[in-house]
A = this chain, B = another copy of it.
Amino acid sequence: MALGSTAVRAGIVVTGTEVLTGRVSDRNGPWLAEQLRLVGVDVGRVVVVGDRADDLVAALHHLMADHDLVITSGGLGPTADDLTARVVADVQGRPSRLDPDLERRIGVVVEALMARRRWKSDPEALAAGTRKQATVPEGAFVLEPVGTAPGLVVLPVEGRIGPPVVVLPGPPSELRGMWPAALAAPAVVELLARTTPLQQDTIRLWGTLEADLAASLRRIEAKLGDLEVSTCLRDGELEIVTRFAPAVRDRVDLLRQTILDDFGSTVFSTDGSTVDDVVAEALTARGWTVATAESCTGGLLGARLTARPGSSGYVVGTVVGYANDVKTSLLGVPAATLQAHGAVSEEVATALAEGARTVLGADVGIGVTGIAGPGGGTQDKPVGTVELAVVSPTGRRTRRLSLPGDRDLVRLRSVVTALHELRLLLTREHR
């Protein structure tokens, strides 16, 4: 562990049957992990449990055994299946008590909320919910509600030894809003006094094989020692992340230089920026606008380009021609081209890109047409066949893809590849 044996480690418990069964994906664990890194706390393990007391107890004991801090998210609502506060009280050996002053404060928040949203509800039901939310472990440090649920910092009852448990609400906006107060709680401040913020170094590649990267890393593994290097493939991008204490910066520099020496031409980011960032910056630098003409991606590329704040500065719009008629009538793809080459062809992708430029009035046009499946494949053009074209005032790129995976994956990979083709066109021409 290059982080040093004195590193402060936190464990995270995410509660909720809806998360355990995958109906809702957890946004809190990853966010907390990143926030903890920024204050120098390393995350050991995350446990997801349903709304069952026994499993929550087991998860807490498990993490308390070898972590300096445990953080829970969720289970603070007004309904009976929200049981985190009571279970944490039990585990820390503290009785649960109604805090009348807290009950009053929550009552005020709930009333204001109902008035603002013009909601009507049964007053008795509301009061019962408020009472439940104001019932907290005796002696706990209360974090004021951001929504209606208070958070808690709960130490073991006097005479027992163990880590503090920070209890946070499940809705991401409430959890995030409460985070500064959690960091300022005396027990947390005391822990943070022992930490050094961990740095993170990220390198992203497009077009290098994981096996080749592994071979490069093996060559220098003795020199890297116990540096924590994590590589992952995501949507076709290869990402290498190291988290490290400032003292081992030289090993991170060696890693970075080795990757640049061996795979420099496929490295597209060394500062944590995403392909979206790189594309936005390149468009802005040139003063160019972009528009998309999409078929199989159904608007996903336009949605991705406009996901960034400020994208109205360079995104003009999108036409999705899901029906072939629209490709012709609205985007000017000649019916003869569709007839001769089929909707999924380099010719049609290029005509779509040109159409996006002309019809929407943009400098750069992107055309995407393909077969996302599960139906529609042929022997010549099986499911996963996608044609991309990017056209700028000064150049063009086209590419045919044979993508594996299901409909969602084919659409996602088409979008990511289109962004990289756009990046390559913007950053490689005129050099």
Q: Which A positions have Cβ atoms within 8 angstroms of B?
A: 1, 16-18, 20-26, 29-31, 33-34, 37, 43-52, 55, 58-59, 62, 65-66, 77-81, 119, 121-122, 124-126, 128-129, 173, 209-215, 217-218, 221, 228-232, 234, 239, 241, 243, 292, 294, 297-303, 305-307, 309-312, 315-323, 325-326, 329-330, 359-361, 373-375, 404-405, 407-409, 411
- Contact at A125–B218, with CB atoms within 8 Å? yes
- Contact at A299–B310, with CB atoms within 8 Å? no
CA distance A405 to B26 in the complex (A): 17
A375 touches which of B121, B230, B309, B318 (Cβ 8 Å)? B309
- Contact at B320–A234, with CB atoms within 8 Å? no
A319 touches which of B51, B318, B408 (Cβ 8 Å)? B318
| Contact A80:B45 (CB < 8 A) given known A234-B23, A241-B18, A316-B323 | no
10 nearest A-B pairs in the assembled complex, by CB-CB distance: A22-B30, A299-B299, A298-B306, A125-B215, A299-B302, A17-B230, A18-B232, A318-B320, A300-B303, A46-B48
CA distance A373 to B408 in the complex (A): 27
A322 touches which of B77, B128, B213, B316 (Cβ 8 Å)? B316
Q: In this complex, what residue of B is CB-closest to A9?
A: B55
A136 to chain B, nearest CB (A): 19
Q: In this complex, what residue of B is CB-closest to A213?
A: B79
A126 touches which of B125, B211, B326 (Cβ 8 Å)? B211
A190 to chain B, nearest CB (A): 25
A59 touches which of B45, B79, B409 (Cβ 8 Å)? B45
- Contact at B317–A320, with CB atoms within 8 Å? yes
A232 touches which of B24, B34, B47, B62 (Cβ 8 Å)? B24
- Contact at B241–A17, with CB atoms within 8 Å? yes
- Contact at B323–A317, with CB atoms within 8 Å? yes
CA distance A316 to B295 in the complex (A): 10
| Contact A78:B214 (CB < 8 A) given known A319-B319, A322-B315 | yes
CB neighbours of A34 from chain B (8 A): 21-22
| Contact A51:B17 (CB < 8 A) given known A298-B305, A319-B317 | no
A203 to chain B, nearest CB (A): 13
A390 to chain B, nearest CB (A): 17
Secondary structure type dominating chain A contacts: mixed
CA distance A326 to B24 in the complex (A): 36
CA distance A16 to B232 in the complex (A): 9
- Contact at B323–A23, with CB atoms within 8 Å? no
- Contact at B303–A299, with CB atoms within 8 Å? yes
A304 to chain B, nearest CB (A): 8
- Contact at B374–A309, with CB atoms within 8 Å? yes
- Contact at B298–A320, with CB atoms within 8 Å? no
CB neighbours of A373 from chain B (8 A): 309
A262 to chain B, nearest CB (A): 11
A44 to chain B, nearest CB (A): 6
- Contact at A173–B322, with CB atoms within 8 Å? no
CA distance A21 to B307 in the complex (A): 22
A20 touches which of B43, B59, B234, B300 (Cβ 8 Å)? B43
- Contact at A298–B309, with CB atoms within 8 Å? no
CB neighbours of A329 from chain B (8 A): 361
- Contact at B323–A212, with CB atoms within 8 Å? no
CB neighbours of A292 from chain B (8 A): 299
CB neighbours of A16 from chain B (8 A): 230, 232
CB neighbours of A221 from chain B (8 A): 80
- Contact at A45–B22, with CB atoms within 8 Å? no
A120 to chain B, nearest CB (A): 9
CB neighbours of A316 from chain B (8 A): 322-323, 325-326
CA distance A309 to B79 in the complex (A): 37
- Contact at B407–A309, with CB atoms within 8 Å? yes
Q: In this complex, what residue of B is CB-closest to A30?
A: B22
| Contact A299:B312 (CB < 8 A) given known A45-B47, A47-B47 | no
- Contact at B80–A217, with CB atoms within 8 Å? yes
A426 to chain B, nearest CB (A): 19
